Structure 1
């Protein structure tokens, strides 16, 4: 097994800090809603704006990195995140914060998309690189809510300033440990990431990623509100640190699923069987969350959901990024952009769905999207088997 290079560690640690920025906000959503007199729907836009801008800009990340180099792109992305995270902490109006979260999304897109390509390019073992990347995601998701809960207990501004500091540390690590390499070869055309849409299989897997990430981000972005409501009904005041601890447990299982669960299950049962089984498990979790407003049930099943999500994140990324012959930075931009689109849609709809069907409404739709994901993966399996059969009968087709 080859030694992991310092550059890979620097990028993956910065990735962990980046994903901490998502989880840091989670425990303070109800507090922001109360402090700034914003509705839950408005507060959910903190996720939506961030994720939709991230998704759009990710499609152009390879165009940027092919001109200025990966290290420069990583550093610019982190610099933008540091600036806009600090601005969010200084803002006094929820709409201003929503706007600044969009700027944060620009930096996040440049960094996250280029980070995956950098890790893949710097590692001799693509599967191990994906495991490290998704493990960093899991670690960030685990620590983010805990830190966010602790800082949010002082002020809702604390998690934003905390993110700015952490990302500045990540920027310093990349500056020191990632070697500078000028952009090589022909710069990517702006249309390069969209070429993946011309591949029938990638198109299907991207649609599956949209459906899966809708279900995933329904749990991540919406869970604090029914948790808070369920606790209030029993007279239990759920503070930011309480929410932080719940999502810390969620993130620990997510990290364990990414680093340990996914590789072991994929090795022994195959990637597809692992995906289908975990999609079924996460569907059950969201159905239970939709059906029960008991605070203990909500806490337990939110945490359990983290384990399934960790396994699914790694397995989905492996299946999609290794399914194409496109260059790594192009495939990374395309897949990362599409997965964030699914994540952006979920917070937008949770407000109207909960108003229409009650607290469980968003979870019912999230469960349906996970069932749709399994169906799309089954179609991909059928197409792959048929193509393999044609190649066996007609080599070179």
Structure 2
């Protein structure tokens, strides 16, 4: 059914008489002003994620906190995001896409600023949870907004979204390293300032709902959309395709967040050095998500390509676990992992958007709920495993979870194989 809907939207986007030469697929860069407004806000928002990464060791030192306590900054953030994803659909239906995006940005700015003013690790952990609430509203709605408003189809819209994430994540650590070298508070206050810029840009550039140019198919779907309920994400999980991808992402995020939250503690670099390492990571993530992932998808299919990237990522984490004390191996592995994660993020997001015949926002909320559950447990578990055993164990455990994600998806492949047919409709 998802494939049928996408084909209908494609036909509406390229009207013409039967038998006439089909129009070329719209360019990725030819988008309505509303799409570019959201993309700009995405770049600023995801800069906030990378800004904090280079200062994790500095926070531990300045606030006399252990590695496991500092990783709770990721745990509280992702745990609140996971739960908040369940209410994003209801809030978005009441506030509209623009209102929900602006609300999320305001919440991020407020809690980031309060975090920069805090003086203890536990208040900072709590404030990061508030930050996660704002990010949940923004992330869930921004993806839906770009896909819904884009003129170039779902696949290219997702590439644009992942590119915005990659640009934000790649630039964020560099800025975070510079601000963090002045004070660990700098990146938190920097996020608050960037959110103000994003708020102004979105307020000015994104039209109101009544003026937003939406594709005919999207407008029809919106008009016939049933009333949004808090139970919708749970009902969506009855679709085995969404459930399989969500559980797979939950397992994969154990490795992904272990790399992000724990690797800064074993690299032995200062704020500047960590900023440059994660800059390289983010650049590869951005480039592969835009240029390589679509080629892999066309040649090998979404599911095969996704499993291949996850398997390679598992091997990278295993190498990090074996050679944890060798600095250059950790640095090279983190940067190279950006290429694998860029490909996988685009592939799995495309799969989710094409997986079930439900509203995209509802599918995204259900999937993200499961995904961020894994992201919430992983950082604290990584810190504790390091304290209980040794610095090698967190990476080895992370690798095990990623390989388990591959096995789980392959065992349930019959439930997700249709996403390749849906993607080919674009």
Give the TM-score normalised by the residue count of structure 2: 0.86
Pair 1:129-2:157 in alignment: yes
Give the drift of 1:327: 0.6
Q: Distance in 2 between matches of 1:386 and 1:310?
A: 22
Report if the CA contact (8 A) 1:134-1:313 is conserved: yes
Report if the CA contact (8 A) 2:73-2:125 is conserved: yes
Report if the CA contact (8 A) 1:114-1:332 is conserved: no
Q: Distance in 1 between matches of 2:70 and 2:199?
A: 29
2:249 equivalent among 206, 209, 213: 209
Pair 1:83-2:110 in alignment: yes
User: Which stretches in structure 1 are left out of the alignment for 5+ residues?
Assistant: 229-237, 389-397
Pair 1:252-2:283 in alignment: yes
Q: Distance in 2 between matches of 1:16 and 1:341?
A: 24
Q: Distance in 2 between matches of 1:220 and 1:387?
A: 29
Give the drift of 1:357: 2.7
Report if the CA contact (8 A) 1:114-1:333 is conserved: no
Pair 1:191-2:231 in alignment: yes
Residue number in structure 2 paired with 1:234: none
Structure 2 SS opposite 1:188 = coil
Give the drift of 1:65: 0.6
Residue number in structure 2 paired with 1:54: 81
Residue number in structure 2 paired with 1:341: 373
Pair 1:103-2:138 in alignment: no
User: Which stretches in structure 2 are left out of the alignment for 5+ residues?
Assistant: 1-24, 211-221, 421-426
Q: Distance in 2 between matches of 1:38 and 1:225?
A: 13
Structure 2 SS opposite 1:69 = helix
Q: Distance in 2 between matches of 1:97 and 1:384?
A: 40
1:145 equivalent among 173, 177, 180: 173
Give the TM-score normalised by the residue count of structure 1: 0.92
Q: Distance in 2 between matches of 1:108 and 1:385?
A: 31
Give the drift of 1:385: 6.2
Residue number in structure 2 paired with 1:172: 200
Report if the CA contact (8 A) 2:44-2:194 is conserved: yes
Deviations 1:7-59 (A, max 9, x none): 11111221122222111111100001001111111111111101110111011
Deviations 1:169-196 (A, max 9, x none): 1111111121111796554011112111
Report if the CA contact (8 A) 1:258-1:311 is conserved: yes
Residue number in structure 2 paired with 1:6: 33
Report if the CA contact (8 A) 1:212-1:373 is conserved: yes
Q: Distance in 2 between matches of 1:205 and 1:61?
A: 20
The list of structure 1 runs, each at least 4 consecutive aligned residues, that deviate by more than 2 angstroms after superposition, is: 182-187, 382-388
